[in-house]
Each structure stands twice: as structure tokens, then as C-alpha cells.
Chains A and B, each alone.
Chain A
Amino acid sequence: MSILVNKDTKVIVQGFTGKEGTFHAEQCMAYGTKIVGGVTPGKGGQEHLGQPVFNTVEEAVRATGATVSMIFVPPAFVSDAVMEAADAGIELAVIITEGTPVKDMMYAKAYAVKKNMMIIGPNCPGIITADECKIGIMPGFIFKKGNIGLISKSGTLTYESANQVVKEGFGITTAVGIGGDPIIGLSYKQLLPMFEADPETHAIVMIGEIGGDLEIQAAAYIKEHITKPVVAFIAGQTAPAGKRMGHAGAIISGGSGTAAEKMAALEAAGVKVVVSPADIGKAISEVMGK
């Protein structure tokens, strides 16, 4: 078991024939992901990486039965691509692109909600179910199969945590990079219950960072509903207020969204919070009773 995606998930790529789309689609296929086609307007009817190219998402869905779209289009075209996917009946859009304007995400997400489509990202490494399906840009080999679920706002911290978890002798069920933008699709609060319901997931690692209050919402949810152990790290304890730390959403504004308040809320919810990201693996060992 796993969450959201598995070996049978059929995936199309929007921005399939572009440089990034091509490179990563190929990597995903090598990992075992069922990439069944892609969309590049104007190139419909061609073949790319041995798969059909379509002009519209609607055609792609009709012809392939894909339920997930991996989006690599440039930032200015993300909202259009997301809405097209939602309109065509895609169930989950994974947006890798970095640099989408907030206003565009505001409209795109509202539309996706209306059409019942889930979003992961934008500005994220994607989602991976170990040994089954990788939809994104993460190095697949780090994610050995196991019983730990992972949710993270940061790409490289996802790899770092997965690597530590594996070094401690555990592995990953599914890892989801939710992205560090001010407006994102699925967040901790929606993903935690999926991991709670997944029998193969025995514990959860959650990586947050400064800015916004998603981690606080997660803490409230964990306190009420999550019975599995959760290990958390919040990046940016040493970040100055008012400065944007790389990610568009990683900013302490008006004195709120600090690491300290998030860590306190998670601790109060019974989460094992580590101060140093170097201790994530060890903390998993502890909560797993090893």
C-alpha cells in the first residue's frame, strides 16, 4: 500500500517535449512510472520517448485513461495548464515548475477545488511511492521501500530525511514534496489522514519551514486525529524576520510564521520535534522503538 500513487497509476506530462519535461519524464519511466503520453499544443500526433503526444489534455485523457498529470510548463503557463487538467478530469496534478505568480495559483487552485482535482506543488520535487512510481524530479534510488511516510516543503530536505531514514534501517512508503510557495495544493492536513489510513505506513516524517501556518494547522489535526508517531523538523530557526529565504513562502511576516511557534505547536500535539535536521533519522529510530 501507499498513498495517492502506485505502480498502476497512469501519468501524462504537460510540457512533455520541453527540455525539463523530456529529461525528467525519461527518469520517471526508468524508475517504473507508467508515463502513458504527454501534451504539447501543436505537436499532437507525434511520438516522444515512445509515447503519444497530444494537443490537449482532454484528448490525452480520453486516449490513455491517465489520472495524474505531471506539469513542467513555464511559470507563466502553469495556471492555464492546471485548469486544463482539471477540466479534462485529471484527478491529481503534480506541478514541478518554480516561479508561478501567487495570483495565478489563487485562481488555479480555486478552479481545481471546484473540479475536484488535487494538486501537489507548485515548486516541489513531486511525489514518489518507493519502488513503484515516481512523479517528479527526485533521485529515486534514495527512497528504499519501507514503512515511513514523508511530507516536506523542501526538496533537498526530503532527500536528506529519506536518506537518514534509510541509513537507520527503515524505508519509505510514499514521500510527498508539497512545495514552499505561499499557495500550494495538498498540505500536511490533507496528507496526514492518508498516511494514517495506510496500513503500510507506521510513522510519519514531516518537514516544515518558516512562513504561513500550515504546520500549526497540522499540529491541531495531529492532536485530534493521528495515532501514528510523527517526527518533525522546521527549517529556518535561525532565519531573520522579514527576509524571504529562497522559497516564495518562507518568510516571517509581521512576527508570525516563526519556527519557534510551529515547533511549540507540534510538540504540544505530541510530535517528536528535532532541533537539528541531522537528527531526523535517529528520531525515527526512537519512535519506532528500535
Chain B
Amino acid sequence: MNIHEYQAKELFKKYNVPTPRGHIAFTPDEAVKAAQELGGDIWVVKAQIHAGGRGLGGGVKLARSTAEVRELAAQILGMTLVTHQTGPEGKLVQKVYIEEGADIKKEYYLGMLLDRASEMPIMMASTEGGMAIEDVARDTPEKIIKVAIDPLTGFQGFHGRKLAFGLGLPVEEIGNFIKFASALYKVYMDHDAEMIEINPLIKTGDGKFLALDAKMGFDNNALYRQSQVNEMRDLSEEEPTEIEAGKYGLSYIKLDGDVGCMVNGAGLAMGTMDTINYEGGKPANFLDVGGGANAETVAKGFEIILKDPNVKAIFVNIFGGIVRCDRVANGILEATKLTKVDVPVIVRLDGTNAEQAADILKNAGIANIIAATDLADGARKAVAAAKGE
């Protein structure tokens, strides 16, 4: 789960990670009020969406008067912002963050994430502030300094010194940097974060460090104990069908092909997509119905898959282990009564009681249910059906 910049900065403030002052605004009037409260003579109006690249897309603008704050807020609120992370359809901006202007002397990058190789959180810093870290990693990896932090002992001075000297900071600024980095580590650990990105981290004229931007993502499995973070969840930033699927214990991700897939188990679900691709088709989605593929979950699965108008055939691929295939077959028949399915459904059931399942489907005599003998056969039939063959 991700949160907005302004929310991440709220968490930062509680942990004394310095950020510029700012207020959230949902209307141009609120934006002006926010600017007046902040005072000063320069403000930044920032679109709040869950995607990077907002500046380039026109979602971050500088205002030199409150009149300009109003004008820019009016312009950005309600716009559909397209960045390299939103996809071509973009994202609707529903709120702006009004922030005081900052005296930027130098921009850096500072981030944290789980390093799966060392199985520890790592902190990464770079002098290439403002650039996408993926590009820096690809083109000039030597400009990224990384430290793995053992969670058993926590953030130590040497971690901070390694980063600070790596960034080429003068000795008198190192203390400030270490204070910043050590507070950031606490924000990460205390909230079960899986990612923090500050891009840019800025150094001001008087040698202080400020998080000019803030991006945070969290471990979904830990949300049960992170009530504060949970309250920050903005469902309007998430895919509605994915949320709906989640309510029924299904894991769904929409793709752009035309062969719908319904599978038990995440690995087999990915493998099914790959098989469809291998057989010359394109998967319309990832869908893991989980361990208990019963009539209700299968019906819901059909419903969600068929919300996508591109779907021309559905491949149901279930490997019955503890779940018996005859039950799944009955579930499929039941599901076609609950949800109208008007595309060909190719069904491959293997594992426990597969033969009984095949008989159940055959005896039902439903024209658009086509039985498949194995994974490859099912994928081939589904691809052919989607092509109208």
C-alpha cells in the first residue's frame, strides 16, 4: 500500500525528519488559506497522486503570490495527470499540497527499501537528486551509495558517515545528515514500510537537510498493526476491480490481452498467463482464486473477468489438491447460473477426482463450456476460442 506525499511528511514530522511546512487543500479557496497561514512570498502547489514524475507532467508549480496560488490550484485540481508511472490514462488530481518555498543549495536522493539479498533494510543515497534512481542505477551505478542496516542493532553512526562521506558532504554538515538519516530509519522500521523515497532531499543555504518530496509504501501483511497508516489509505488511488476482488479473497490484476484466466495459486496463475502467451495468445488478467475454489468465488471471478470488455474467452485452470476437482466442477456449473457467462469457457481440472469432474462437466451439456485435458491443451483451446476459431 502507498500513501500520498503530504501523508508521508506527516509521519516524517512526528519523527523529526525535517520537511518544509505545508497544508493540504481540496479547493482553490483552501489553497489560498493554506498559503496565507504559511506566510512568506513563494509557495509550491503540488498535485497529490500516487505516482512519481508529477513535476514533468505539470503537477508541481511555483507560485509567487496568493493570487497565483489560487490560479494554479484551480488549474491542477481536477486535471488528469499523466506521468511515466500513471500509464497513458493518467490519474485524476483531487487534492493539492501547498508548501512553503525552500532555499535549495543542492539536491540529493535518499531512499530505503528491503534488500532481499542481505535480508536487511538498506539506505541508499546519491548526489543525483531529482533524477529517477532506476536511471542512475543503470547509467552511473557508482553514484549510488548503499548501506545495509542490521535490524537487530539498528542504525549506527558509521552507516550515516559512510553515506555522508560518499555524498562528499563537508565535515560540518555530517552531523545534520546523520540525524536526518537515523530519524528516517526509525520512520521506516516503526511503520513496517517497504519503501521510502526522498527525491530530492535538499540541502538549504544554511546547511540543513529537508525532505522536499516523500514517497512511502508499506508491507500489506503488516497493515493490521499499523492503524495510523491504514487510515491514510486512499482507495480512489487504487484499481476498483482489484479492490473488489480483494474483498472476496481473490487476487486480480488487469492486463491488456483477451484471454481471461482463473487459476488457483499465484505461481500457477502466472504460469497460465505464460502458457497462453507461449501458445500465441495474450492474457487479459492475473487471477488467483486461492485454495478454496467454490461456487461463490468462481462466480465472483467470472464477474470480475467479464467486466473487462476485451475478454473473448476464459481459461479456468485448477489443479485440485486438497480442493477436490468434482467440487470445483460443480462450483463452475453453479457459478454460470449466478453470473451470465457468454464467452467460451475452457476448463482444465487436474488432480484429486479429476475424472469425476470431467464427467460432471460433460453431463451438464453446456455449449460454451469446453473441457481440456491438460495445461497446454487448455491454453491452446482458449487462445483459439479468443481468436474465434
Chain A residues close to B by CB (< 8 Å): 27, 75-76, 99-104, 106-107, 109-110, 137-139, 141-142, 152-157, 159-160, 163, 180, 182-183, 207, 209-214, 217, 233, 235-240, 242-243, 245-250, 253-255, 259, 275-279
What residue in chain A is nearest B272 (Cβ atoms)? A277
The verdict on A182 contacting B267 (CB below 8 Å), with A76-B225, A243-B253, A278-B379 known, is no
Q: A104 to chain B: which residues have CB within 8 Å?
A: 222
Separation of A103 and B219 alpha carbons in the complex (Å): 9
> Does B338 count as interface, using CB distance less than 8 angstroms?
no
Known: A235-B267, A245-B286, A253-B113. 9 other contacts (CB 8 A): A102-B221, A106-B114, A106-B151, A110-B150, A142-B321, A183-B114, A212-B117, A237-B273, A275-B274
Q: A209 to chain B: which residues have CB within 8 Å?
A: 267, 270
Contact with A along B143-158 (1 / 0, CB 8 A): 0000000111000000
Q: B275 to chain A: which residues have CB within 8 Å?
A: 276-278
Q: Across the interface, do A246 and B286 meet the contact criterion of CB distance under 8 Å?
A: yes
Q: Which of B253-273 contact A (CB under 8 A)?
A: 253, 255, 263-271, 273
Q: Could you tell me how many residues of chain B have their Cβ less than 8 Å away from some Cβ of chain A? A: 56
Q: Across the interface, do A154 and B274 meet the contact criterion of CB distance under 8 Å?
A: no
> Does B375 count as interface, using CB distance less than 8 angstroms?
yes
What residue in chain A is nearest B151 (Cβ atoms)? A106
> Does B199 count as interface, using CB distance less than 8 angstroms?
no
Q: Across the interface, do A152 and B267 meet the contact criterion of CB distance under 8 Å?
A: yes
Q: Across the interface, do A238 and B267 meet the contact criterion of CB distance under 8 Å?
A: no
> Does B165 count as interface, using CB distance less than 8 angstroms?
no
17 contacts between A and B (CB under 8 A): A102-B222, A110-B152, A154-B265, A154-B267, A154-B268, A156-B265, A157-B265, A159-B351, A180-B266, A239-B273, A239-B286, A246-B265, A246-B270, A255-B134, A255-B138, A276-B379, A277-B274
Separation of A138 and B265 alpha carbons in the complex (Å): 12
What residue in chain A is nearest B320 (Cβ atoms)? A139
Q: Across the interface, do B267 and A180 meet the contact criterion of CB distance under 8 Å?
A: yes
Q: B138 to chain A: which residues have CB within 8 Å?
A: 255
Separation of A15 and B272 alpha carbons in the complex (Å): 34
Q: Which of the listed residues B152, B224, B274, B375 has the most CB atoms from chain A within 10 Å of its own CB?
A: B274
Contact with A along B98-114 (1 / 0, CB 8 A): 00000000000000011
Q: Across the interface, do A238 and B283 meet the contact criterion of CB distance under 8 Å?
A: yes
Q: Which of B309-351 contact A (CB under 8 A)?
A: 319-322, 350-351
Separation of A171 and B319 alpha carbons in the complex (Å): 18
What residue in chain B is nearest A239 (Cβ atoms)? B270
Separation of A209 and B269 alpha carbons in the complex (Å): 11
Separation of A207 and B266 alpha carbons in the complex (Å): 13
The 10 A-B pairs at the shortest CB distance, nearest first, are namely A154-B267, A246-B266, A156-B265, A278-B376, A101-B222, A139-B321, A156-B268, A235-B270, A277-B271, A157-B267
Separation of A21 and B85 alpha carbons in the complex (Å): 43
Separation of A289 and B106 alpha carbons in the complex (Å): 64
Q: A142 to chain B: which residues have CB within 8 Å?
A: 321, 351
Q: Across the interface, do A245 and B266 meet the contact criterion of CB distance under 8 Å?
A: yes
What residue in chain B is nearest A177 (Cβ atoms)? B267
A277 CB contact (under 8 Å) in B133, B192, B286, B375: B375
Q: Across the interface, do B253 and A102 meet the contact criterion of CB distance under 8 Å?
A: no
> Closest CB-CB distance, B256 to chain A, in whole Å?
9
Q: A141 to chain B: which residues have CB within 8 Å?
A: 352
> Closest CB-CB distance, B299 to chain A, in whole Å?
20
Q: Which of B205-253 contact A (CB under 8 A)?
A: 219-222, 224-225, 251, 253
Separation of A237 and B271 alpha carbons in the complex (Å): 8
Q: A235 to chain B: which residues have CB within 8 Å?
A: 267-268, 270-271, 274
Q: A109 to chain B: which residues have CB within 8 Å?
A: 119
Separation of A180 and B279 alpha carbons in the complex (Å): 26
Q: Across the interface, do B319 and A156 meet the contact criterion of CB distance under 8 Å?
A: yes
> Closest CB-CB distance, B117 to chain A, in whole Å?
6
> Does B56 count as interface, using CB distance less than 8 angstroms?
no
Separation of A101 and B274 alpha carbons in the complex (Å): 29
